[in-house]
Structure formats: C-alpha cells, structure tokens
Structure 1
C-alpha cells in the first residue's frame, strides 16, 4: 500500500498534472481531488433517507452512512479522484434544447434521456477510470485503489462539488459554468495523498427554472429531490406499477427525464462528448412510440445490447411505453394506438396489462350525435 511511503509535495503535484493530461486523452473533461471527511454531509443524507425520498431503492438505506464515509467502503483511502465525462452526442446540433422540447411536445415521439441513447456509461467510464488508475500505477508503482461509476455507496455529487468539478445545483445535479450538467461522474478511491483541488462557487442565484420545469414537482425544495415523484426513478428504478397520479405527467417519456436540465440556463454551455460511445443509436434515439412498442423481447435485447436501457428489462420497457401510448391516445385518439395496445393485452405480463388497461381508458369519449 502506498500509504506507508513518504511523499514529496512537489512530486504529488506533478503526478496530478500527469493524471490530468492522461485523463484528457481518455475522454475525461476534468478531474479533481476530494478529501475523505464528509461528516458534515451526513445529517442531510440521514434526513433524505428518513423522509423516504429514496423510494424502493432499499440499497440506499442498507448502506446508510457508508455512502458518506469513504474509508469504511475502502479501508486505507485518503483521497478520492473525481472525474467528469461530457455525454452530449458529438453530432448534436446547436439549439438541441429546443429540439428536445419539440420532441416532448409531440405525443407520438418516444422521449429518452439523452445520456441513454448511446452506449452504457457504466461500461465506458469504469473501463477508462481503470485505465487512468493503471497509468498512475505505471508512474508511481502499485497503490491501493478502487474505481466506481454509479456502482457503490458513493456520495458522488458531494465529492464532485468538494473537488471543484462543479457545484450542487438546485435540481441536485452537479453544475459547471463551462459545461452545464450534461456529464457523468466517476471516482477512484486511492491511498495516495494527492493535493486537494478547490471547490467551485455556486452560481444558481435566485433561479428556479429546474423546480418550475419538473413535470411531477419532484424537486420538493431547492437541493432536495423526492425520488418517488421523479420520472427518472419511476421509469427506471421503480419495479412495480407507476402510480396513477403521475402517469399523465410522464407524457411520452419512456426512459428517464431531462426536463430540469433542459430548463437550466447553464446548459447552454454543455459540451459535446469527445467519444463515439455516446453517439445516438438510431433505433432508440429517433423512434416513435409505436415503432418501439412493436418490438418483442428478442428485438428489445438485440437493439439495447450494450445500452443502459437494457438494465430495466423488457417488462418495464413495455410498462413505460404503455403509459406513453395512453397519453398519446388521450391527446390524439389515434385508432392505430388503440389497436396496438389491444393487440398486446393477451400476451403481456400482469403488470403491463394493468398499464394497457389504463392507457386504453385515456381514449377520448365518443361524441354524441346531436338529436335530429
């Protein structure tokens, strides 16, 4: 373990500079270094859990304060290297926010979070974080470390904010003045006493655009998210029925929700990814609800191979599409939508069947003919 070595301050600063340079070559936009003392974040974490804002994500409560105690997760850790990787697709046109708002306004289009339209970010970041750690080992010799990408009890927003990746926005995501919030976070827990990087100053001011834009009022107060109301949680994490009171607000969103980020003024500075991994896959990035509803499970698995979408499984995929099709049926009364929904009733699971029944009930009532 490197914790037994004596480290020269100048050598550690030089090492961090070399890691920054190599991180850029791997597609990372920024790295920082955070301390492991997150004790002043523990009360907020406990309040969030006590309020039940984590919903059915029981693992959040199971791990408890380990999330705020890096040394308990990886003994020997003295620093956390934090990394930012931008994910807007390389080919995304200027004015992309307006394009996304238009997509959300068209009931027949399928809306998926931008981050999910390419390759699974877990795979991309984890492999490249390990390459960064391997590069550090080549420079200084073996050292204790573990890499994480949304895969363990890590208080990643807190660590990112403390290390200067950005500040915690009112929507609870990390924001940067030069990159908005359209990026992934990753961490390397290390036993190297690297120099700490300064935190960023917050710049949300009096803006409430993200709170105002949330379709389900999931941002219950600035910096406080009730996951049970969040469309990203409802369409990805929730394994059971989507609560009826949120179905209409979901609109045509079938995997995640970007509304708070689309509304954020800082995202006019969001950066395109340097990697082809996040290029949009045509089938999921530009499909209509009816096109995606026509997939059977084999096609779903084939089309989503290597994608984060596959993680929810075919049943939740159909459940989400059924809700979106119900909203489309209510908006336009298209007979093709009704026919597609009815055609699946006898071959789907009980969970999906209940959502199909709800969707069919959204059809406009037939207008009565005037009496002669």
Structure 2
C-alpha cells in the first residue's frame, strides 16, 4: 500500500495522546505522514503535550479535561466529571472539524476524545506502543474499529479482539529512520569501541552508578578502546565524570543530546532503558543493546518490550535487581569481545525493525471514512527490507467498515 501513491481526497483526522514522549512520538510521526498525504490533522492532549518540544508546527493542539483515576476512590467523582466535560468539548470539536477517524495513542487525554467520537459514530483506532496493552487502550479495545500494535505479541490483549488487530510497528523520527540503510559503523579489533548510554529524558541514576564501573571491568583489549557517550541527570554529571576519569575511560557526558540520531549513528553498543520509542529506534537503525527495563513501569511493560529483540539475538536484558558492574561487564564481553559477534547482534536488531510503521499506520486510519476502494494491508510480519533481512508481509484482507 505504501509503495505506489494513489489519489486521496483531503480529510480530517484527530489524534489523541497523553503528554509524554512515549505517547506523542508515534502520534507526531503519524501526523507528518497524514499531512504529507494532504490531510488535515489536529491533536487532543494535555498541557504538557500541547507544549512539548518537537510538536509539528502544522498540528493544532486542543487541551481537554481528562481526569486521573488513582488508587483512592475519593478522587474518582472529580475524575468522572472531568472526563464528561472533556467528552462534551470533544464532541463540539468534532462538529467543527468533521473527522474521518479519531486515533488514540494511550494516556488519560485519549479517554474523552475516544468517548466523544464513539458517541457520534466516528470510527476510532488505538495504537499501542508497548508489548503490554495499556490501561486506556484496554478500556477501549472492545469498542474501537481497529487496534494497531508495535509488537506481534502483546500481553493483556484478549484473543476475542484479534480480528481487529494490525501489526504496524512503532513510528520513529525521520532523522533516525534515515540511518536504516547506512552500514553498521566499522568495528575492528584495534578500533574505537563507542558505547552510548541513555536513561530517558532525565537520565537514570542506576546507569550513572553502574555503567562506569562495569566498563572498567572489561578486558584490556576492550577497555583501552572505549569511547563513551552518556546522558546523565544534571546533579550526577560531576560524580560520573570523576568516576570515568578515575578509570581512565574517555567519556562525553550531557543532560541532553541535541542530535541523538547522529549520536546513535556512531554507536557500536547501546546501554539503557527499554522504552517503546528507544527499542523502535534501535531496531530501525540496527544497533545491539543491553537493556535495563524500568522496574516501576506499568504492568512491567518495559521487560515485555525486550522480548522480541532479545529472542532475535539483537539485545540482552538485565533486570535492575541484577544490574551490577560485574554482570554488565560479563554481558558486554560476551557481545563485543569479537567484532563479528557484535556485528551479528546489530544485524539481528535490524531485522526486528519495522521501518514502514508510520506509512502502515496511515494506511490503516485512511481506510476509515474514505472511498470504498481504499484498503489497508494487515501487516502480518516484519516488513524490514533487505536480501537476508526481509520478511514476507501478510497481505490478508483488512478493510474495516466504518460504523
């Protein structure tokens, strides 16, 4: 579907997402693709999402009330009132823009947006970025027209909903996707060994504490060639810098890297968390990784996110409870002592990538409210390209009727 272009009439779509990068990154990628196809796109989110860096200039943001349902039932009445108010505001918005479909990406702001759409018989789609169906997407799974997933295996997704599931992948930023056809950086027995360490937008303290010491325990043949790039919390920078200096390991440290695509392009090995966007970028580019799932992630979804990449041989996963310097050194040594082992892991990671995710997701949402001739591929397998990397894409009938 995403190969030859077909004439499309201009329509309106509304994207609804929580205000975190995990929800908004795929939403922004879809917005870019729909806008490129000539459609009009609006965003429903919260205050954080409306002001988050990276929001496309063409994407108008609408902030709706969205109550949070915490563990304390005393707060639920207020949350329900906020949702009802947001639902009413969403319906007024839809009367104005007349969307062909409303697409939810998880997070509480998606609740009133999806409720308003379903009250007006507007087709709805949800996209799940993680390998565990999130709370909001679980709430709507039985009522939406389609469920787009980033992984072939998704926990807490009921079998009875399988007929409406479409495996599309997790869209990544164009700058990162542009690296997919670039070769893995040369890794020779006497060359530099570049390691990239990140822990999310604010860094992760456990990485700052463990990684420098773990790298210092590598065999001299590896340790002497190290060049580390690490994201740290501002309050940890000086301590981490001193720790690397004490080990004689050159390291570039920062709280934020402006051009993460360029940083990732040079890396031979990634060490960090297992967020959905992180893994999507690693597999899009083909970078081997040692992943440390966030232990407090809802439903332990980061651990689930690692399954596909680990099974393929592109990554190793270490639970934070076992993430110690000695264990890290052991895993790095197993992956990188020989150049061919690391290159093989990079190839395996590349094979897990789904570079057409934004296009396939756009095909799916375009199939609602359009002309009868519009169809969408049901993605039944990895659609990575390449002589040995490629996998066949299921071409089963997948048109959903807009109710």
TM-score of the superposed pair, with normalisation by structure 2: 0.23
TM-score of the superposed pair, with normalisation by structure 1: 0.25
- Bigger relative contact order, structure 1 or 2 (CA pairs below 8 A, ≥6 apart): 1
